[in-house]
Amino acid sequence: MDKVQRMASEHGVVIFSKSTCCLCYAVTILFRDLGVDPYVHELDHDNDGKDMEKALMRMGCNASVPAVFIGGKLVGSTNEVMSLHLKGSLIQLLKPYLPD
């Protein structure tokens, strides 16, 4: 859990992902289309990936990937991100991380 928290606090927008996950890819593309370049950490390419997945689940992610953090806070997985986007709230959360 320490590694997850450290990464989430070191980068403004973090997506914990797996290289084979199509929903992870879709969320990453959404953020890039909105003008944000998220830090994407592929759990299947990390020796600690399984432990990090378990930590994400313990933190409240209903699916271990994609797990999205904005400003060090867990936003959630695809459902939560898309819900925020459809309500117009996601862009508000991303404003501090948009290029000038």
Q: What is the 3-state secondary structure (H, E, C) of 36-79?
A: CCCEEEEHHHCCCHHHHHHHHHHCCCCCCCCEEEECCEEEECHH
- The per-residue pLDDT for 47 is 96
The whole-number pLDDT of residue 83 equals 97
Residue 65: predicted pLDDT: 94
Q: Predicted confidence band at 100 (pLDDT cuts at 50, 70, 90)?
A: confident
Architecture of domain 1-93: 3-Layer(aba) Sandwich (3.40)
pLDDT at 63 over 90: no
pLDDT at 64: 81
pLDDT over threshold 80, residue 1: no
61 with 45: CB under 8 angstroms?
A: no
- 4 has a pLDDT exceeding 80: yes
